[in-house]
A and B are shown apart, each in its own frame.
Chain A
Amino acid sequence: EDAQDLDALTLAKSYFDLKEYDRAAYFLKGCCSQKAYFLYMYSRYLSGEKKKDDETVDSLGPLEKGQVRNEALRELRVELSKKHTARELDGFTLYLYGVVLRKLDLLKEAVEVFVEAIQALPLHWGAWLELSNLITNIEMLKSLSLPDCWIKDFFMAHMYTELQMIKEALQKYQNLIEAGFSKSTYIISQIAVAYHNIRDIDQALALFNELREHDPYRIDNMDTFSNLLYVKSMKPELSYLAHNLVEIDKYRVETCCVIGNYYSLRSQHEKAALYFQRALKLNPRCLGAWTLMGHEYMEMKNTSAAIQAYRHAIEVNKRDYRAWYGLGQTYEILKMPFYCLYYYRKAHQLRPNDSRMLVALGESYEKLSQQVEAKKCYWRAYSVGDVEKMALLKLAKLHEQLNESDDAAQCYMLYIQDIFSCGEQLEHAEVSTALRYLGQYYFKNKLYDEASLCAQRCCDYNDARAEGKALLRQISQVRDQVETPSADLFTPLSNNNTPVRRVSPLNLISFTP
């Protein structure tokens, strides 16, 4: 059969490659081999899609645009379903049948057909990818019966990344590397993306750099890379990346996103927005660009356009937490703390373990003077691993406001521990505030040793020096009066970074009068 159809097939394939789908389909009409049949159907499908896209541009009215659809789909479905029931479809045609079903919004059937296609032809990655788009949660994933093939591991890793189960994904990829895929650029890029998702920036950056060494002309995933560079404010690297990508291909969505990020980092937000728009023109369903554009409009203080952009992002993908978060921020800027609660909550729902949403929620609650809720949020933010190290400080201040001095002291202590243990110097760190409060707190509770220690540490900071000295003086005065000098008062503690650590929160409470 194959030999019989070879001529027609070759001719049609050439037409197909030239994107003359109707022509290809015409010459394949009589052929009966599986290959020819697939190409025949696929050409018809693509021809329908192409016509649909063309129609969209000149429809008769604004509301007509939604109704433009691929007219070929229904016919294809009828034919394919007949063959399907007769079990005459091979892996590729099954895949095509699945695509057609998905386009017709028959998702449940589409999943079944894709699974069938995968079982018939496990090495066709396209079918796996289509299937991955249809899986919404882990239970659904587990319920599918997939063939036990090595490619299944790739799929599972991909799915775990999609479902934000990063740990499992990383484990899978690691196994794959060990199994002999260590040179695969795909796996490296996926791992990098996974690290990006859990905000392990340094790891991700290292991997991307490695990736660029192996595969210098790669454009895929470079938008993620640029995001990382942006977060790290690495201007020269980002600029280099942008120029490099433009040289490779300037009309790619990723390229436009990188350039947008580049301009954004240089605070040229108008230009950045322009490039994100270009990215959207190239691919309207590019989620990241909508969100990023929203951010740009926020920077330009054009809140209404920002809201619009974020809404578009949500329309494309309801699970885009960044867009929800962005909407919340927009309303926060408009000074509507209650209104933005809803959006933050949405974002929090989607990323329950992301401290940024929790801190934002807490701040909004604080503005609404709902201290109880605010406290809960901050504490939760700290518990899930605070990225910006702000939650504890805010919590402590809140406790301070509410005159809950024990809790406040405890939080400040945790905060100081946190700051020092993470090693690097944070810009907004308010260690001095914490130390000042702790000093006063110990002093009030007559724990002079600890108080003096805190006061001494205070003197290391410019803004708290005066107070620290004053406190020290007070302490020595009180000590003189009481005259209970203890020999081991000034134990060498200066080289200890976290001086208050030795007092655990629990003792503290037992000491309080």
Chain B
Amino acid sequence: MASVHESLYFNPMMTNGVVHANVFGIKDWVSPYKISVLALLYEMTSSKITLPERRRLNKLILPLQQGPDLTLGQFLKTVEECCPQTAYAVKLRLQEMADGELKDMEYFFSTLPTPFSAFDSEAHKTSVVGLFMRHMLLAYNKLSFSQVYKLYKSLQHYYHSHYAKPTDGQVGLPALAADDSEMDLTSIEDTVGDRVDKEELDAPLHESELRSDGTPSRGPLSQKQAEYFLARQAYLLKNDENKALKPAALQEELNNMLKFNPDFAEAHYLNYLNSMRVQDIFLSAHSLLHYFDRLILSGNEGKSNGDEGYGRSLRYAALNLASLHCRFGHYQQADLALQEAIRIAQESNDHVCLQHCLSWLYTLEQRKGSESTVLTQDSVKMAAHFCLPYLGSLDIQSLVQQGAMQGKAAHKLMDALKDTEILHWKHSLSELIEISLAQTTSIWRMYGKSTMALQQAQLLLNMSSLEPVNFGVHQNNTEAFAVALCHLAELHAEQGLYNATSEIFQHLKEQFPPHTQHSKLWMLCDLKIQFERHMNDRKYHLAEPLVKAMSALNKTEGLYRKAHVLKALNRSTEAYSILQQLQVHCEKTKCTEIIIRVMLSTAELHWESSGFSTALPLLLQALALARQHHLQSLASETILHLAFTQLMLGVPEQALNVLHEAMEPILAHGAVIDKGRAMLLAARCHMAVAGFKLKGQGHLDLQLAALAVDSLNEAASYFSKLKCKERLRDVHYLQAQLYRSLGQTSQSNRSAMNFRLLDQELQSPAPPVFMQL
């Protein structure tokens, strides 16, 4: 019943009360550009062209017919490249029309081969060319008297503007010029009266409409041009944000477009995407709802599926709203919207939509920090059932991530990833392949296998995209790339290659400018690296301001770093309370890595109050946790702490035993600073075992002492690589002592001199050497 009323009393083509025979469906209108294409087709059918030229022209036809309007200059240039002779003929014909009279254009249309009469030519009525010609003839014949005259006027303008401005072929320049002239009239106030002379007034606005090629332009675009523009911008937003228009410019362009055609629903959607880019919740929500309000109407167009038309868009409207709120962190709102979407989808038995909802549901649960493994598993099963490979493997990836967090067996995770990988390549889901690689990188990093992580990251960065390269954009602007690059930067920083690191950050900064969605990733990463460096150099005053910046990006991380700084500044009580707070928080959110780190820091705090025995159970707990979750680097770090504690407790032999266990992984995968610390610790253990005392000169086990010398040398080389002078000074001090007790005075003196030099340079009193790891 509803549809009957609609057709009787509501004309969807009615806008602002005026009925236009437009909006939906009919997109072809005769424009000067189309006349040129017609002229080209006409020339092709009527004149003799050599075979290779004809082939090239044939190839050209489809893009010319379907693409947006070109300027005459561009058009002639493309044709000329294929066949200069035809281009000339086309130009002549256009000139004939433009310089002649209206009747010349009318004559042209009447001489066009009618597709119904020409049976054996290319312009047969069912061919592509024939169809196009029929469309054009139909559209032309429909024009009213004044419209024909207008068309002729614009044809004249189209032709003459090409010759008036020979530079028209250059993209961008004319656009700017036109912009200026228009801006003059609308915005600049005082001088305008004098500046706008007659000539500028005469230049009609149509100029801007005839300009095209997808470059941003003010003024109206034709339907096709607008669609092309929107598609291009949306694609760029998804794949390479930097190449898209700046948010403000794009917004202006969209406003312009909407002003001319408020029914253009897709523009609202792009508006939504654009507002998301600048984190504008109000505008994005507004545009999203507006888009779906419009869509609901146009959804009725396909009446074949009855009510399905707008019911479908309703579901997805709710789902999109949920995703919007989720992205802005309004989890409760998102939850409500999602429930709505699920309910509507259930009512109409739309399993695909339900599946989408399910995967959003578990994402939401995850974001809220609650357990969602069961949901995800369900989701995988459902996706497999409905043959939705994309969602299915996305679910699996999410499961793997959860599994890794919960310390599931590593081989199972890798197996699962491998299986999805097969799926991805089968369906060529390039986006998921990238995510998968980035995920593997992260997992390897988490497990502390830096080499594997490095390899995976390089693999991702060097992989050539599967997607056909659209608009000259490689898809390298996604989150996966950001993650991989961040890991790469951190890995380089760990090895002390700070130049390389800063280069990577430079690249990141270009690829993901600060206002974009994924920029937070590299910002945090950058801050972390800087923080570590300052802490190692004991420049706490430099590290402190970074903490604030970090807290803004990630609260937990910021808190943890704050505790670090406080600890370093000997404000132990405050540091301790923060660490306690963090531990409680992280146990709630199941953030194992941070828990272990917090435990280690707490143990260090205990050291400072000489509570070595109280630190031991904590460290053992941390070790158990790290092993359970396969976190090798953290486990080795814990072992270092453990060994140090034992050393301090006066059981150096035991400490050495423990240390040996960690030495291998640290040397293989660890950061340079860890290597140095491990070697330094080993040397000190050796010295202690050998019976070395700082003051007195007892008998020394020479073999062990030699080992200690070697270790110290190695540690010195690591520290000097990092330019970590504080630690280097400690090493030289120990070296000097050791050499002296071994009776090698010259060596001892050299080390002592090194120590002295560094000490002078640093100008800060050395902290108690033996109280730190």
Contacts and interface: CB of A to CB of B under 8 A. Distances in A.
B44 to A, nearest CB: 26
Contact of A302 (B5, B30, B261, B337): B5
B186 A106 contact: yes
B154 A284 contact: no
Interface string B138-169: 00000110110011001000000000000000
Nearest to A272: B9
Chain A interface: which size bin? 35 or more
Given A273-B10, A327-B293, A335-B343, A65 B260 contact: yes
Nearest to A64: B220
Given A78-B196, A337-B340, A62 B299 contact: no
B743 interface: no
Given A58-B147, A308-B297, A334-B314, A270 B8 contact: yes
B259 interface: yes
B260 A67 contact: yes
B505 to A, nearest CB: 40
A444 interface: no
Interface string B198-213: 0001001100010000
A74 B336 contact: no
B469 interface: no
Contact of B16 (A61, A78, A284): A284
Interface stretch (B18-26, B480-488, B490-498, B545-553): B18-26
A339 interface: yes
Contacts of B299: 304
Contacts of A301: 1-2
Interface stretch (B221-229, B587-595, B679-687, B746-754): B221-229
Interface stretch (A275-283, A455-463, A500-508): A275-283
B751 to A, nearest CB: 71
- Most B Cβ at <10 Å: residue of A64, A270, A327: A64
Given A67-B260, A270-B5, A308-B297, A105 B193 contact: no
B321 interface: yes
A273 B7 CA distance: 12
A56 B340 CA distance: 43
B22 A342 contact: no
Contacts of B289: 339, 342-343
**Interface extent on B, as a size class?**
35 or more
Contact of B23 (A59, A62, A312): A62
Nearest to A315: B262
A interface, by DSSP: helix, strand, loop or mixed? Answer: helix
Contacts of A18: none
B336 A67 contact: no
B17 A283 contact: yes
Contacts of A302: 2, 5-6, 10
Nearest to B333: A338
Contacts of A300: 2, 5
B263 to A, nearest CB: 9
A336 interface: yes
B192 interface: yes
A249 to B, nearest CB: 19
A423 interface: no
Interface string A70-101: 01001100100110010000000000000000
Interface in A386-436: none
A75 B204 CA distance: 12
A231 interface: no
A57 interface: yes
A74 B318 CA distance: 46
B2 A311 contact: no
Contacts of A75: 201
A78 B318 contact: no
Interface in A269-313: 270, 273-274, 277, 280-285, 297, 300-305, 307-308, 311-312
A62 B18 contact: no
Interface in A337-363: 337-339, 342-343
A66 B9 contact: no
B721 to A, nearest CB: 58
B276 interface: no
A59 B192 CA distance: 30
Given A62-B20, A64-B220, A67-B219, A342 B189 contact: no
Interface in B510-540: none
A301 B259 CA distance: 30
Nearest to A286: B17
Interface in B302-345: 310, 314, 317-318, 321, 333, 336-337, 339-340, 343-344
Given A300-B2, A301-B2, A81 B193 contact: yes
B624 interface: no
A104 B196 CA distance: 15
Contacts, number: 152
Contact of A85 (B30, B151, B193): B193
Given A66-B261, A284-B18, A304-B300, A109 B31 contact: no
Contacts of A35: none
A481 B427 CA distance: 82
A69 interface: yes
Contact of B18 (A57, A81, A106, A335): A57
A301 B2 CA distance: 7
B12 interface: yes
Interface in A216-274: 270, 273-274
B702 interface: no
B235 interface: no
B173 interface: no
A56 B150 contact: no
B519 to A, nearest CB: 29
B12 A308 contact: yes
B762 interface: no
A67 B16 CA distance: 15
Looking at B23, B294, B340, which has the most chain A CB atoms within 10 Å of its CB?
B340
Given A62-B23, A304-B300, A308-B297, A69 B223 contact: no
Given A60-B31, A75-B201, A283-B17, A273 B151 contact: no
B382 interface: no
Contacts of B294: 311
A315 B259 CA distance: 10
A63 interface: yes
Interface string B20-62: 1011001001110000000000000000000000000000000
A324 B144 CA distance: 40
A284 B310 CA distance: 27
A107 B346 CA distance: 50
A368 interface: yes
Nearest to A75: B201
Contacts of B193: 78, 81-82, 85
Interface in A94-120: 104-106, 109
A82 B190 CA distance: 10
B296 interface: yes
B17 A273 contact: no
B209 A64 contact: yes
Contact of B20 (A65, A81, A109, A315): A65
Contact of B205 (A57, A63, A67, A274): A67
20 contacts: A56-B18, A59-B150, A60-B147, A60-B154, A61-B31, A67-B209, A78-B192, A104-B186, A270-B9, A284-B16, A302-B10, A304-B297, A305-B297, A312-B15, A315-B262, A334-B314, A338-B336, A338-B339, A342-B285, A370-B336
Given A61-B22, A284-B18, A311-B293, 20 more contacts: A59-B150, A61-B223, A62-B20, A65-B260, A67-B205, A74-B185, A78-B196, A277-B9, A283-B17, A301-B1, A302-B10, A303-B296, A304-B296, A307-B293, A308-B10, A335-B343, A338-B336, A339-B289, A339-B317, A339-B318
The 3 closest A-B pairs by CB, nearest first: A66-B260, A62-B22, A284-B17
Interface of A: 56-67, 69, 71, 74-75, 78, 81-82, 85, 104-106, 109, 270, 273-274, 277, 280-285, 297, 300-305, 307-308, 311-312, 315, 327, 334-339, 342-343, 368, 370
